[in-house]
Structure 1
């Protein structure tokens, strides 16, 4: 077989969130729309998700969660990671607590290690990759602890959410743009930390500009166009690869496309201990599922020599 131009990992995040999300992600995998999943081990349907991954031989990694729902570790009573109800502080609350110096990094480490161990109990092997729910793994201080845990368990791959073309994307509303730009700054500051621990990641990350209603066959093609040429990659992603120069023509470019397909969660069904959020209940989940399995997108992959694969295949 000819060498592909791009090895593309299409990762379905939030596997385990609820039965309907699980079912939609599996449908997407079976139709060729996703090639990899990321499991929330503290979610209410994590056991079901792990069984589905085994049954359908779905490559699976850990979506480490420090911001939504209840912890896995049993040693965090009164923890700085939790609010008065015993739940994580939320996407914004976690960042505020971190910025004010309120979070204990030893407790972060305890929880991350507990989630890796829980993953192994559910799935039967270590994660093929490990990233952070709501991108918490690239935050200051957290990234150091995260990298050490990943390295200690011998997990090879993570996610560096720095997306070519993000700054020029007109589809993203201002409040999300500000958040995404900060995510990118944190991610770039994580590069040296992850490199020092021997952790790897694909050449290109995609997914912030193609989330929800912004996802279309055209927008996915546009995002992928940045990955199709070594010169574009070198300009857009300088410094963010672990230890290799810009890809040459003798090897494929590697890329990850982060996606969130599924059937929308029903109220009071799913979540990580507090019920499903608006993001999971949105019809955007169905829209992503339909787009990712659109025959014209799957044909485009073949036409452009884009090979869908998993982190374990890189």
Structure 2
């Protein structure tokens, strides 16, 4: 078998969100359209998801959640992490509280550790990788705590959401483009922190520009094209480049959100499913990822789907 040009981890995020999401993700895995999942341990169907991962031998990591639903750590039911209703502050609310200086990092650390332990209870092993729901893990201050928790548990891999081609992506609406650019800025500032703690991540990250209705064969091909270009760029920067280094596969993670749409009031992390989960966007991603044209393209381009433990 020829050496692949790209080792691609296609990670289905939000595993555990609801049973319909879980079944969609598993169907994707069985069709070899995704190769990895990221589990929300505080979600309504986390136990169901963990059982499916065991049954189908799906590589699984932890989708650390500080922004949606209720905390795992019971002692934090009254803390800076939650609002007056007892839930996390939300995607933007978490960022606002953090920026105000009112977030207690000891409470962040306690919740992250509790989620790792809950993951172990559900699956019987440590996460193969750990990232952050809604990219909270690269935010200022949080990234230091996050990296320390990974280091302490011996979790080797995370996600650094810096996507090549993000700045030349005109089809994103302004609000989403602004959010993604801020995610990229935070991620770039996380690199030194993760390096210092011995945490690793793939050479290239993809997924900010291919979510929901923006996922298409053309857009995925465009994103993967940037990854192929990055492979040559990485090779060109090596000082003492040997032949084996020049032709080594580039490692890439593609973040995806496939699934069957959630029913109202079923799923979520304690507050019910959000609009994105109930929309057709999840099904659109599922169908796009399983498209034989895309799967054939992987083979033609020497793209091998794998998991983090295959690096």
Where has structure 1 moved over 2 Å in runs of 4 or more? Answer: 229-235, 247-250
**Distance change in 2, residues 1:231/1:33 (3 Å):** closer
Residues 154 and 199 of structure 1: CA distance in aligned 2, closer, same or farther (over 3 Å): same
SS in 2 for 1:167: helix
For the residues of structure 1 that align with 2:230 and 2:40, how far apart are their CA atoms?
Answer: 34
Q: Select which of 279, 284, 289 maps to 1:287.
A: 284
The TM-score with structure 1 as length reference comes to 0.95
Q: 2:190 maps to which residue?
A: 190
C-alpha RMSD of matched pairs (Å): 1.5
Deviation at 1:174, TM superposition (A): 0.1
Q: Where does residue 269 of structure 2 map in the other structure?
A: 272
> Residue 208 of structure 1 corresponds to which residue in structure 2?
208
Whole-angstrom CA distance in 2 between matches of 1:166 and 1:213: 16
2:108 counterpart residue number: 108
Q: Distance in 2 between matches of 1:55 and 1:63?
A: 20
C-alpha deviations, 1:266-311, integer Å up to 9, x for none?
A: 1100000000001111100000000000001000000011000001
Indicate the SS of the match to 1:10. Answer: strand
Deviation at 1:230, TM superposition (A): 4.2
Give unpaired runs (5+ residues) of structure 2.
none
**CA deviation after TM superposition for structure 1 residue 30, in Å:** 0.4
Provide the residue aligned with 2:298 in structure 1.
301
Write the distance in 2 (CA, Å) between the matches of 1:82 and 1:184.
26
- What is aligned with 2:84? 84
Q: Which residues of 2 match residues 219-230 of structure 1 at below 5 A?
A: 219-230=219-230
Q: Aligned in 2, Cα 1:230/1:210: closer, same or farther, shift over 3 Å?
A: closer
| Cα deviations by residue, 1:112-159 (Å, 9 ceiling, x for unpaired) | 000000000000100000000000000000000000000000001000
Maintained 8 Å contact 1:226/1:233: no
- Residue 261 of structure 1: aligned partner: 258
Distance in structure 2 (CA, Å) of the matches to 1:150 and 1:157: 8
Give yes or no for contact 1:204–1:233 (8 Å, CA) kept in 2: no
- TM-score, scaled to structure 2: 0.96
Aligned length: 305
1:24 match:
24
Report Cα offsets for 1:58-83 as digits up to 9, x if no partner: 00000000000000001113200000
Alignment of 1:128-277 (within 5 A): 128-230=128-230, 233-234=233-234, 248-277=245-274
CA contact (8 A) 1:16 1:45 kept: yes
What is the DSSP-based 3-state SS (H/G/I as helix, E as strand, rest coil) of the residue aligned with 2:86? coil
What secondary structure does 2:166 align onto? coil
Structure 2 residue 54 is the aligned partner of structure 1 residue 54: yes
Question: What SS does the aligned partner of 1:145 have?
Answer: helix
- Structure 1 residue runs without a partner (length 5+): 239-243
**1:94 corresponds to 2:94:** yes
Name the one with the larger helix percent: 2
3-state SS in 1 of match to 2:75 = coil
- 1:37-48 paired onto structure 2 within 5 Å: 37-48=37-48
Q: For 1:165-190, what per-residue CA distance to the aligned partner results, in whole angstroms no more than 9, with x for missing partners? A: 00110111000100000000000000
Q: Give me the whole-angstrom Cα distance separating, in 2, the residues matched to 1:34 and 1:165.
A: 22
Deviations 1:215-271 (A, max 9, x none): 011111110011113466549xx9xxxxx9xx9423100000000000011110000
